[in-house]
Amino acid sequence: MPKKTPETLRSRRWFGIGPKSTEHTSHALQAGYSREEFQGRPVIGIINTWSDMNPCHAHLRERAEAVKRGVWQAGGFPVEMPAMAIGEGYVKPSSLMYRNFLAMETEELLRCHPIDGAILLGGCDKTTPGLLMGAISMDLPAIYCPAGFTMGATYRGERFGSGTGPFRWAPELNAGNLPLDEWEVIEQKIWSSPGTCNVMGTASTMTALAEVLGMSLTGASSVPAMDSRGHQLGAAAGRRIVQMVWDDLKPSDIINDASIRNAAKACVALGGSTNAAIHLIALARRAGASFTLEDFDAIGQQVPVLANVQPSGEYIMHEFADAGGLPAMLNNMAAVLELDCPTVTGASLGENITGAKLVDADVIRSMDNPVATEALAVLKGNLAPNGCVIKPSAATASLLQHRGRAVVFENANDLAERIHSPDLAVDANSVLVLRNVGPLGGPGMAENGMIPIPKKLAEQGIRDVVRISDARMSGTSFGTCLLHVSPESWIGGPLALVRDGDEIELDVPNRSITLCVEAAVLEERRKQWQQPEPHYKRGWGLIFSDNVNQAHEGCDFDLLASREGTPEPPIHGKI
């Protein structure tokens, strides 16, 4: 029995109260709709992050039309509403700086309009968590529909993944081994069609986690952007969201402690992006779930890497999809999942993946034949009291226990100016340290953490060194990079006290990161340290700086993460 009736729809406050609704009814009539098309029907808001400045989402206008088709078929009334696209490549100083902006925009678009349920169209890295965070806070029935990933490519006989490909060849360019015209060939291959990165970067990680959380239709995250199944799934989501409105099935009925744990387990099994450590904590806080960086680390030690996908593995996303995709991988790890978690399909996670077929056991491994043992580790110590993260599955094994002398870069500008200088005092044992690139220092915690291999070392054939920062790195990247150091240096975290020549010791197996300097010396340095001047004095930059929390807390705003209810907008007729 449906929980909602036409009389109890949220949109009825705008439509259906006689002359008091004249303003709202007249605008719907103005748009060319007849009364029977919208009155008494669930109004479905399609939040679309299409933009000319986000080519990953170039096809989302057509995807929205497929969603509308499904909504009409099920007896709903679809309305499309644009939201900030956050194109990863273009948005500066950092896409993360605008994730909370998108979350707030999504929530308020849904709140201030006559919306009963929502379809969320996203895909590029920060759009997925931003849309989900806003939908969780608004708590109307919602389905997330991912954009899908870009076409595959090869280069010199190798699989060429978005991000992993150029990062693989960049040291050759910097060492003078790759001519510029060949680099231009690489540029053409990185994204050869609409869609997100075709490896297990942040986009594919987060769209998969949306599905595991129960917020997407089964298999939606394993469909290429240009595959016709994307439109088919869009139409199916349109049909399903109408029924979800009648059933009043909301994010608060779906996302809980267990589903968050499932998402973390899937993340490490995927060899997922380290950025998920930020986003999943933020999503958990929005949902009122209990989940910390320490919880993520514990799961990382329990669940191995099953997806043999770059950057942790060999293949790219099309091959993962053809091998059975996310449902097949979840089936392989069903023994460690909490299968009774509800989902937007109306069935449980376990029911959704029952019968999922595994086609290629090399692409999607079993628990007893993993690609790697660990995809995420959280290290703590006097350099990172609140933690930092590393992806062991994409790092150099011989560097996971290492002691070396620091080469310090004060900020991203300093790094850009000196990293390839022939005078840089660096060798293969050095530990490159980049600071003042965190949530406040960056500003916005950009993906500066995959510090380039200095030209001086690249010319010697060196392809990895230990790198430490309070920044993030692209989920498509690889190397022995310690990231998200918290608290960040901008606010006086210990990273601010490191000096050239200090020895730093990391021990990933034992989860420690140590600045090997006497406590008294560090205390003296702290007395000399001065807080940098703020980046912003007005606008969104100031709002962000005044409210963002640290990486280990999810980089959200406490005022948005609050579980306090927000009242529905008052509506008064003008007649």
Least trusted range by pLDDT, from 150-164, 266-280, 281-295, 560-574:
560-574
pLDDT category of residue 69 using cuts at 50, 70 and 90 = very high
Q: Please name the residues in contact with 63: beta carbons below 8 A apart, sequence gap of 6 or more.
A: 121, 145, 147, 230, 231, 234
Supply the pLDDT for residue 362. 98
Centre a 10 Å sphere on the Cβ of residue 527 and count the other Cβ atoms it contains: 7
Centre a 10 Å sphere on the Cβ of residue 177 and count the other Cβ atoms it contains: 13
CA 155 to chain centre: 27
pLDDT category of residue 404 using cuts at 50, 70 and 90 = very high
Centre a 10 Å sphere on the Cβ of residue 90 and count the other Cβ atoms it contains: 12
Centre a 10 Å sphere on the Cβ of residue 25 and count the other Cβ atoms it contains: 20
Supply the pLDDT for residue 20. 84
| 197-209 confidence digits (pLDDT tens) | 999 999 999 999 9
| Tokens, residue 461 | 């054939």
How far, in Å, CA of 560 to CA of 546, rounded? Answer: 13
Q: Evaluate if residue 474 carries a pLDDT over 90.
A: yes
Say if residues 383 and 498 touch (Cβ distance below 8 Å).
yes
| Tokens, residue 395 | 């790092």
pLDDT category of residue 565 using cuts at 50, 70 and 90 = confident
Of 472, 468, 481, give the one whose Cα is nearest residue 442: 472
pLDDT category of residue 572 using cuts at 50, 70 and 90 = confident
The answer to whether the peptide bond before residue 487 is cis (omega within 30 degrees of 0) is yes
| Tokens, residue 378 | 């959280």
Phi, psi (rounded to 5 degrees) for 283 = -65, -40
| Tokens, residue 20 | 């008091």
Residue with tokens 């790759």: 178
Q: Please name the residues in contact with 173: beta carbons below 8 A apart, sequence gap of 6 or more.
A: 180, 183
Mean pLDDT over 328-349 rounds to 98
Q: Does the reported pTM lie above 0.95?
A: yes
Supply the pLDDT for residue 190. 94
How far, in Å, CA of 419 to CA of 432, rounded? Answer: 10
Supply the pLDDT for residue 164. 93
Mean pLDDT over 512-538 rounds to 97
Q: What residues pair up with 514 in beta bridges, in sequence order?
A: 505
Phi, psi (rounded to 5 degrees) for 402 = -155, 145
How far, in Å, CA of 397 to CA of 445, rounded? Answer: 27
Q: Evaluate if residue 1 carries a pLDDT over 80.
A: no
Q: What residues pair up with 46 in beta bridges, in sequence order?
A: 80, 119
Q: Evaluate if residue 562 carries a pLDDT over 90.
A: no
Q: Evaluate if residue 371 carries a pLDDT over 90.
A: yes
Burial 130-164 (b: 16+ CB within 10 A, else e): bbbbbbbbbbbbbbbbbbbbbbbbebeeebbbbbb
- Mean pLDDT value across the chain: 96
**Percent of the chain residues topping a pLDDT of 70:** 100
Q: Please name the residues in contact with 529: beta carbons below 8 A apart, sequence gap of 6 or more.
A: 492, 496, 497
pLDDT category of residue 44 using cuts at 50, 70 and 90 = very high
Say if residues 401 and 506 touch (Cβ distance below 8 Å).
yes
Q: Evaluate if residue 16 carries a pLDDT over 90.
A: no
Supply the pLDDT for residue 491. 98
Q: Evaluate if residue 2 carries a pLDDT over 90.
A: no
How far, in Å, CA of 92 to CA of 233, rounded? Answer: 32
How far, in Å, CA of 366 to CA of 269, rounded? Answer: 10
What ranges in 113-228 are assigned the alpha helix state H? 127-138, 164-174, 180-190, 202-212
pLDDT category of residue 530 using cuts at 50, 70 and 90 = very high
Positive or negative: CA dihedral 74, 66, 128, 556: negative
Is residue 157 classed as helix, strand or coil in its secondary structure? coil
**Percent of the chain residues topping a pLDDT of 90:** 97
CA 487 to chain centre: 21
How far, in Å, CA of 389 to CA of 380, rounded? Answer: 9
Positive or negative: CA dihedral 454, 457, 463, 468: negative
Beta strands in 352-427 (DSSP E): 377-381, 384-390, 401-409
Supply the pLDDT for residue 378. 98
Supply the pLDDT for residue 35. 92
pLDDT category of residue 574 using cuts at 50, 70 and 90 = confident
Is residue 250 classed as helix, strand or coil in its secondary structure? coil
The answer to whether the peptide bond before residue 114 is cis (omega within 30 degrees of 0) is no
Q: Evaluate if residue 265 carries a pLDDT over 90.
A: yes
Least trusted range by pLDDT, from 77-81, 158-162, 245-249, 264-268:
158-162
Mean pLDDT over 71-89 rounds to 97
Say if residues 513 and 384 touch (Cβ distance below 8 Å).
yes
Say if residues 108 and 1 touch (Cβ distance below 8 Å).
no
Supply the pLDDT for residue 466. 98
C-alpha separations of 41 from 138, 148, 332, 510 in Å: 20, 30, 41, 58
Mean pLDDT over 484-493 rounds to 98
Mean pLDDT over 370-375 rounds to 97
Q: What residues pair up with 307 in beta bridges, in sequence order?
A: 364
CA atoms within 13 A on the CB side of 437: 27
How far, in Å, CA of 204 to CA of 196, rounded? Answer: 7
C-alpha separations of 180 from 60, 173, 185, 226, 341 in Å: 34, 8, 9, 30, 51
Residue with tokens 């005078």: 423
| 412-451 confidence digits (pLDDT tens) | 999 999 999 999 999 999 999 999 999 999 999 999 999 9
